[in-house]
Structure 1
Amino acid sequence: MTSRPARRRGAALEEAILGAAVDELTESGYAGLTMDKVAARAGTNKNAIYRRWPNRLALGIAAYRRLATAVPVPDTGSLREDALALLRGANRHWSSPLGAVLRELLAAAGGASELVAQLQDQSGIAAPWLTALGRAVARGEAAPEALHPRVATVAVVLLRNEFVVRGVPTAPDDVLIEIVDEVYLPLVRNRAPS
């Protein structure tokens, strides 16, 4: 008589599903992610997945969040160099296979602001920029009024625009330099109180 493996529940089942979704995203991207494939890989059924994630996009975002890592914040002593280092890191990430998954998820999320917010929170958009900008304010390189998430992240949002709107596979370094020198630095240095 062969014994059946114990039925997984709760956190163990959720871990198995997320692990399977991560593997599917890594191998096939968001376009290849299906509930059937994830269920088969996790050794469960689709109902178990749908009880935890309402749709494929929510599962894809949860899996991406598992894959994404925190961005180290450069500290070169210069706001320009820190901003360029952050942009170059974002450019490398968005040009990578994992970045392609992120772009697919952002496109699929469309106007679903809560899902886009989950992706942006995990991909660490605001935190490293606010840290670098806070250091620059302390050094006198930027106006204290620039310490606002929308202002701090304008450079990376412009870079994201290159990928999402223009569809570039990677942004040339001269575009990154232009974003920093022509938009970001003038904005944060000349920001006046409102």
Structure 2
Amino acid sequence: MRNEAVPVGRPRDPELERAILDSAVEVVVESGFAAARVEEIARRAGTGKAAIYRRWAGKTELVVAAAEHLQADVTVPDEGSLREDLVICVRHYVSPDARAALVLANVLAEASRDGEVRGAATEVIGRPPARALRTVIERAVARGDVDPSVPVDLIASIVPSVAFRQVVLEHRGLDEPTAVALVDDVLLPALGVRSGRGGSGAH
């Protein structure tokens, strides 16, 4: 007779996790990364520190998760148009929620001083959208739409560099017109592709 696996520990509570992440956002926005305390985050979430440490290893992992919680989901689009795929990727950096930019600014500022924060922020926040951009460009190269000699990694790094610089210096994400301009006036020319602005775009 086959042994059935028995669940170990308490089941995940999505509502509690959201409450903790929202509380982390509040505390970081009010106090900054360095001054944020796990005790205060737990108090505002109506729970104890043990509930936080069951889910996250410490403050760094929790605050990075809170920053990620406010970001748009990362997807690798395939709309049949290089321009449209790039626009969708770049829209990830458009942030209508002011709190998202403030929390991310705190994380990025701390990352410049703390290697642990830098590593966590790069892995969770930085790499996924940059990887999506690179995948879209590599796919266009494979289709023959883009010259294979283009520096894919360099071009894919332009948007994150612009977006994160704006977050750190101005505490705001990209707006929609800037995101579209980055595609039409920077990425596509760098890739040697006509923007197709107002039309179907490059295929």
Q: Distance in 1 between matches of 2:168 and 2:18?
A: 28
Structure 1 or 2: larger helix share?
Answer: 1
1:122: which partner in 2? Answer: 124
In structure 1, what residue type is equivalent to 2:106? E
Contact 2:72/2:92 (CA < 8 Å) preserved in 1?
A: no
Contact 1:103/1:164 (CA < 8 Å) preserved in 2?
A: yes
In structure 2, what residue type is equivalent to 1:140? G
Shift in Å at residue 128 of structure 1? 1.0
2:183: which partner in 1? Answer: 180
Q: What do residues 76-103 of structure 1 show as CA deviations (whole Å, max 9, x unaligned)? A: 222222222222232136x453343222
1:87: which partner in 2? Answer: 90
Question: Alignment identity in percent?
Answer: 25
For residues 137 and 72 of structure 1, do their structure 2 counterparts lie closer, same or farther at Cα, with a shift above 3 Å needed? Answer: same
SS at match of 1:141: coil
Contact 1:19/1:63 (CA < 8 Å) preserved in 2?
A: no
How many equivalent residue pairs? Answer: 175
For residues 68 and 172 of structure 1, do their structure 2 counterparts lie closer, same or farther at Cα, with a shift above 3 Å needed? Answer: closer
Query: Which structure 2 segments of 5+ residues have no match?
Result: 1-7, 194-203
Shift in Å at residue 110 of structure 1? 2.1
Shift in Å at residue 133 of structure 1? 1.1
2:200: which partner in 1? Answer: none
In structure 2, what residue type is equivalent to 1:115? V
How do residues 12-91 of structure 1 correspond to structure 2 at under 5 angstroms? Answer: 21-32=20-31, 33-40=36-43, 41-44=46-49, 52-53=57-58, 56-65=59-68, 70-91=73-94
In structure 2, what residue type is equivalent to 1:97? R
Q: Distance in 1 between matches of 2:61 and 2:79?
A: 38
Say if 2:143 is the partner of 1:143. no
Indicate the larger mover: 98-107 or 59-68. Answer: 59-68
- TM-score normalised per structure 2: 0.63
Q: Distance in 1 between matches of 2:70 and 2:162?
A: 24
Say if 2:138 is the partner of 1:134. yes
For residues 114 and 78 of structure 1, do their structure 2 counterparts lie closer, same or farther at Cα, with a shift above 3 Å needed? Answer: farther
Shift in Å at residue 142 of structure 1? 1.9
Q: What do residues 155-180 of structure 1 show as CA deviations (whole Å, max 9, x unaligned)? A: 23223323323x16343444323322
Q: Distance in 2 between matches of 1:63 and 1:75?
A: 29
Shift in Å at residue 129 of structure 1? 0.8
- TM-score normalised per structure 1: 0.65
Q: Given the alignment, which residue of 108, 111, 115 partners 2:110?
A: 108
2:157: which partner in 1? Answer: 153
Contact 1:91/1:170 (CA < 8 Å) preserved in 2?
A: yes
Contact 2:38/2:49 (CA < 8 Å) preserved in 1?
A: no
SS at match of 1:75: coil
Indicate the larger mover: 96-105 or 78-87. Answer: 96-105
